[in-house]
Structure 1
Amino acid sequence: MALVSPPDAAFLFSESRATPMHVGGLQVFELPDGEGPGWLRDQYALMLAHDDVSPLFRKRPHRSLRTGGQWMWRDDEQLDLEYHVRHSALPEPGRVRELLALGSRLHGSLLDRQRPLWEFCLIEGLEGNRFAVYTKIHHALVDGVSSLRLLERSLTTDPRAEAEPPWTYRPRRRDDDADGSAPNPVDAALDTAIEVVRSGRDLVTLAPSLVRTARRAMDEELAAFPFKAPSTMLNVHITGARRFAAQSWSLPRMKAAAKAAGCTLNDLVLAMCSGALRRYLEAHGELPKESLTAMVPVSLRVDDSAGGNAVGAVLTSLATATADPGQRLSQIRASMEIAKDTLRGLSPVQMLAVSAANMMPSPIMSMLGGGEGLRPPFNVTISNVPGPRQPLYLNGAKLQGVYPMSIPYHGQALNITITSYVDNLEFGLTGCRRRVPHLQRLLDYLEVSLTELEAAVEGGVGPVAPASAGLRPAADQFPAAPAATAAVAAPTLEASVTSGATATSAMGKATAKRATRTRARAKKSTRAKAAATDPAAKVTSRRPDNPPPRTGGSSASAGKTTAKKASAGKTTATKATTKRAATTRSTAKKASAKKAGSDR
């Protein structure tokens, strides 16, 4: 057994049914030319034949009195590959909508801690002669960068080459993983203490650097600090259900805009997300006066280790209190410069200390249920991870897109993760299904934000259609965005995605007819109730388009109206009296006739 490091153990401690701590993703592939569903079934059988599972994918967490309560990694010697590697099919018609719904459900379920913490699912039946792969692996095993690297290594750049499943990959082993014996808990604690003492010198020299950075930050009022973020609808206690939305944007387009603005691509991505979040919160009446704060993870990985987490973090202002897109970009760029200055020149230990100060409140807040009533350490996590630069293949099937899925938790109901693939930037938005309503609207707002930034850049480029809509469903499959975005066109959808629009339109017409019938029945019921209480209502209820009574008109007109109503009331009353009298006479006649018959 091997000791689970403290950063990795934090993901195990903070996990609950409402906060699964695994990362994942959807990969979309084109079937090879001339191949059908049978090809995918053959691939599934071929994958199960690769049963030489690497140690990383055999690990399962374990703790007991013998381990001193510390989490340890134990190898699963009876691994059931068919449990971890699955084959599913989308319901017809197999649109992107069905794929996103399935991916959302799979991502919301916990991994079984009695087994190694990973799953791999082949998904057939996607329109356009395509299929998908959903993967998830616990964050205690790998970080986001590691999971992408595993994906790259399991695919090939040559369509004719044979790919090997990710669970067969064997990374370089660490020295401390070579010994399979269980460590003594006392020795492990002592080693940790010794390492802290060795690092003490670095931590002592860190203080002056942080003081200088903090002084500059306060002078310029641009830096972000933990627990200074405003509370929003995104910073609440969450539930376990997830919703996922994804889209691709052209990488050349975004690089051109960043170059024209004189900023980095990451700065532009942050400004794009800032504008989208500002518009989303504004549409819900939840935009705070103070600017949002984002946590931006940065990779500290320097070698190819056997999994684990090597991720740091900086905090940056998203300048959402600023309406002008150009000024907002400038403020975000300045805030990121201050954050990066903090890390420049620091030793690895110092970098970890600063990152821990930024990230540590997150698992603690999650374990405490989100810290209701407290200011959040930050408002949203926005992660940008470099991905493959060349087209990749799975035994001849070309990879179309890679869409990352990450971790919402208590106090952080939304996560935005971006990765690159060839000439696209792939955005993956993972949110709590209950706390982040209409998540897909953020895709519209991201495009609006990018278009505004392009227009704001001095001498910048004009709007260019994105290369692909990625996993964006047809627009009529979701509620329409607010009118504020109507003036800006949404990204062009790829043909294979919009092929389901006709069927969806027919569904929409049928739904409209049902809604019309429902409204008609409701009106009929209302008229009946009104007639029962006020006979005069029968006259007016036949005219639903009657205008309301005018105020401020002549008194004569009002008097005539009152007189008419009174006359109508009298007429109705007279009719009712006459009817009752006739009924009484008829009853009396029947009674007399009956009595006469009995006398005879």
Structure 2
Amino acid sequence: MALMPVTDSIFLLAESREHPMHVGGLELFAPPPGAGPDFAREVYDRLMTQTGVNPLFRKRPGRPVSSLGNLTWAQDTELDLEYHVRRSALPAPGRIRELLEMVSRLHGSLLDRHRPLWEMHVIEGLEDGRVAVYTKIHHAMLDGVSALRTLQRSLSTDPEARDCPAPWGLDRRVRRDPGPSLLGLNPLTLLGAGARLLGEVAGLAPATLRVAGSALREDGLVLPMSAPRTMFNVSIGGARRFAAQSWSYDRLKAVRAATGATLNDVVLAMCSGALRRYLLERGALPDAPLIAMVPVSMRALTEREEIGGNAVSSVLCNLGTHLVDPLARLAVIRNSMSQAKAVISEMTPLQSLVIAALTVAPLGLSPLPGFVDHTRPPFNVVISNVPGPRETMYWNGARLDGIYPMSIAMDGQALNITLASNGDSLDFGVVGCRTRVPHLQRILLHLENTLAELEKAVGAGA
């Protein structure tokens, strides 16, 4: 058995029936020219022949029935691929609506802790002939950036390639050291790691003081627990609803060029306007601006080579939802993100991770009865922008048309917006509690309306 990093075990400790802690993705593939009506079965059969499994996809909690199951990883030596990889069909008429309904149900069910924590569903029956693949994997095993990288490494830019592997069968360049083992810790390694950790912790207090000092000097820097209460920050049930849509990269880049903002600032402005419109429809827009938690990948900073695990920090962003003018909202977002990134750049990666952990720490108290419904949220919504492939990708000739990420909703955070770049598009995936966020698909309409509003304001529209 191998000890589980704290950043991984947190997601197992926080999980309950009502709060699954897996991330997912919905991919749409267009069959290659000449593919027959049995193309979906052929995809499934080809996947099932790839029985060579990377150790990452054999990981399961060490002892699921005890507390050690949240602290250690074990390896499944007899992986049951027929359990993990499943073939499903949509009911007629096979519209995207039926697909999203099916995926919403799949995303709300827990993964079996007695097995490696992942599933893949090959879904046929779409009326346009495309094949959908829904994959989910526990956040304890992979963060969103890692999950998308894993998918990308199974794809090819060559539409003629027919040797694309399954995601679990890749020969990845990973470090072979699985981490400290319960059966034999290396004292020198432990002492060295301890010395580094003590040095980082010693610098944590000054880093925290720098954050506080920056908040006093700058109006735009957001501190935890400054978010207003909203209809999204309530206790939730276990059922989920999922909505997805794509937007052209060129449309967002035109707004970026006209305003000098970053592409992520424009994305956040789209989300800000959509949330404002949605809450106004419900008569639930607070006077104070909503605060978004924006995850930031630390993989480049930590120089981790392995695909598995979690290396994510975060910043808080003022979304300016109290403002009517879309350009004024964008200006608030630009200022808020600029200051947050300036502060995080002064920290070491570990200090940044710890500060992020402290930011979300109040969510750890959400299981306490009444806590979520009677306290102020640390932030209102999570908005993640995950880098994906920038070229058209294929899997054994099937063109990847869409890659829609699906993240986590939890007590106090009933809504999550995640997007991924895909060729010339940005693919948005919106996940919400089925009861607490009614008419979730309206957020997609409001995203479009807000982007059109921004284009009109800068003269970038069609």
TM-score of the aligned structures, taking structure 2 as reference length: 0.93
- 2:260 aligned residue (248, 262, 276): 262
Deviation per residue, 1:8-48 (Å, 9 max, x gap): 00000000111110011110111122223312212211211
How many residue pairs get aligned? The number is 457
1:359 CA drift (Å): 3.1
SS at match of 2:38: helix
Post-superposition CA distance 1:275-300 (Å, at most 9, x none) = 11011111111111111111000101
Report the equivalent of 2:351.
350
Q: Which residue of 1 aligns with 2:448?
A: 447
* Contact map agreement 2:62 2:68 (CA 8 A) in 1: no
Looking at structure 1, the residues matched to 381 and 228 of structure 2 have their Cα atoms a distance apart, in angstroms, of 11
- The equivalent position to 2:240 in structure 1, one of 238, 242, 245, is 242
2: CA distance, partners of 1:409 / 1:267? 25
CA contact (8 A) 2:207 2:351 kept: no
C-alpha distance after superposition, 1:317-345 (max 9, x if no partner): 11111222111111111111111011113
In structure 2, the partner of 1:321 is: 322
Partner of 1:233: 231
Superposition deviation, residue 69 in structure 1:
7.2
User: Could you say which structure has the larger radius of gyration?
Assistant: 1
1: CA distance between counterparts of 2:107 and 2:279? 25
- What is the one-letter code of the residue matched to 1:325? P
Root mean square deviation of aligned Cα? 2.3
Per-residue CA deviation, residues 440-493 of structure 1 (Å, 9 max, x unaligned), is 000111111112222333xx412x4xxxxxxxxxxxxxxxxxxxxxxxxxxxxx
CA, structure 1 residues 207+72, in 2 after alignment: closer, same or farther (shift >3 Å)? closer
- Is the CA contact 1:57–1:118 (under 8 Å) kept in the aligned structure 2? yes
Aligned to 2:405: 404
SS of the equivalent of 1:276 reads: helix
- Distance in 2 (CA, whole Å) between partners of 1:209 and 1:67 is 33
User: How far apart are 1:217 and its partner, in Å?
Assistant: 2.5
Alpha-carbon distance, 1:66 to partner: 9.8
Aligned to 1:300: 298
Relative to structure 1, the CA distance from residue 447 to residue 32 in structure 2 (aligned partners, 3 Å threshold; closer, same or farther) is same
Conserved? CA contact 1:213–1:341, under 8 Å: no
Task: Tell me which residue corresponds to 1:420.
Answer: 421
Match of 2:221 in 1: 223
- One-letter amino acid of the structure 2 residue matched with residue 461 of structure 1: A
Q: Which residue of 2 aligns with 1:41?
A: 41
Instruction: Specify which structure has the higher proportion of strand.
Output: 2
Match of 2:281 among 277, 280, 283: 283
Distance of aligned partners of 1:92 and 1:52 in 2 relative to their CA distance in 1, 3 Å threshold:
same
For normalisation by structure 1, the TM-score amounts to: 0.72
Give 1:127 deviation, angstroms. 1.6
1:44-59 residue pairs with structure 2 within 5 A?
44-59=44-59
CA–CA separation in structure 1 for the residues paired with 2:284 and 2:191: 46
* Structure 1 segments unaligned to the other structure (5+ residues): 465-600
2:120 is equivalent to residue 85 of structure 1: no
Q: CA 1:189–1:317 in structure 2 vs 1: closer, same or farther (change >3 Å)?
A: farther
Q: Which moved more, 1:17-26 or 1:218-227?
A: 218-227
Equivalent position SS for 2:15: coil
Q: What letter is aligned with 1:448? A: N
1:102 corresponds to 2:135:
no
Structure having the higher helix fraction is 1
**Structure 1 residues 430, 192: CA separation in 2 closer, same or farther (over 3 Å shift)?**
farther
8 Å CA contact retained: 1:217, 1:338: no
Range with greater deviation from structure 2 (196-205 or 89-98): 196-205
- Quote the residue 1:330 is aligned against: 331
Please give the per-residue CA displacement for 1:508-565, whole angstroms capped at 9, x wherever unaligned: xxxxxxxxxxxxxxxxxxxxxxxxxxxxxxxxxxxxxxxxxxxxxxxxxxxxxxxxxx
TM-aligned CA distance change 1:49 to 1:385, over 3 Å: same
Q: d(CA) in 2 for partners of 1:219 and 1:243?
A: 41
Question: Retained in 2: the 8 A contact 1:29–1:132?
Answer: yes
Residue type of the partner of 2:279?
A: L
Distance 1:69 1:145, change over 3 A: closer
Unmatched runs of 5 consecutive residues or more in structure 2: none
Offset of 1:395 from its aligned partner? 1.1
Q: Does the 8 A contact of 2:214 with 2:343 survive in 1?
A: no
Residue identity over aligned pairs, in percent, reads 54
Deviation at 1:352, TM superposition (A): 1.9
Residues 262 and 65 from structure 1, CA distance in 2 versus in 1: closer, same or farther, beyond 3 angstroms?
Answer: closer
- Write the distance in 1 (CA, Å) between the matches of 2:356 and 2:101: 35
What amino acid maps onto 1:27 in structure 2? E
**Partner Cα separation in structure 1 for residue 93 and residue 244 of structure 2:** 20
Q: What amino acid is the match of 2:168?
A: W
Decide whether aligned partners of structure 1 residues 415 and 69 sit closer, same or farther in structure 2, where only a CA change above 3 A counts: closer
How far did residue 365 of structure 1 move?
3.5
The CA distance in 1 between the partners of 2:322 and 2:194, in whole Å, is 41
Residues 307, 142 of structure 1: alpha-carbon distance in 2 compared, 3 angstrom cutoff: same
Correspondence for 1:112: 112
Q: Is the 8 A contact 1:213 1:338 kept in 2?
A: no
Moved more, 188-197 or 328-337: 188-197
Is 1:144 aligned to 2:165, yes or no? no
The verdict on how the C-alpha distance between 1:248 and 1:255 changes in structure 2, with shifts beyond 3 A counting, is same
Task: Give the aligned residue type for 1:419.
Answer: A
Equivalent pair of 2:215/2:223 in contact (CA under 8 Å): no
Give SS of 2:177's match.
helix
Q: Using the TM superposition, give the Cα deviation of residue 348 of structure 1 relative to its aligned residue in structure 2, in angstroms.
A: 2.0
Structure 2 contact 225–377 (Cα < 8 Å) conserved = yes
Letter in 1 for 2:85: V
Offset, 1:194: 6.9
Letter in 2 for 1:48: M
- Going from structure 1 to structure 2, the CA distance change for 1:441 and 1:70 (only over 3 Å counts) comes to closer
2:175 partner letter: R
Q: Read off the aligned partner of 2:272 and give its amino acid letter.
A: S
* Aligned pairs for 1:161-240 within 5 A: 161=161, 162-177=163-178, 182-183=182-183, 195=193, 197-240=195-238
Conserved 8 A contact 2:90-2:125: yes
Cα 1:189–1:221 change in 2 (3 A) is farther
The answer to which structure, 1 or 2, has the higher relative contact order (CA under 8 A, 6+ apart) is: 2
2:409 touches 2:431 (CA, 8 Å); kept in 1? yes
Residue 3 of structure 1 contacts residue 183 of structure 1 at CA under 8 Å; is this kept in 2? no
* Alignment partners' CA distance in 1, 2:424 and 2:397: 20
Deviations 1:58-97 (A, max 9, x none): 1110238998676211111221110001111111111011
- Cα distance in 2 for partners of 1:271, 1:189 equals 50
For 1:443, the aligned partner's letter is L
Change (3 A) 1:320 1:337: same
| Aligned partners of 2:61 and 2:69 also within 8 Å | no
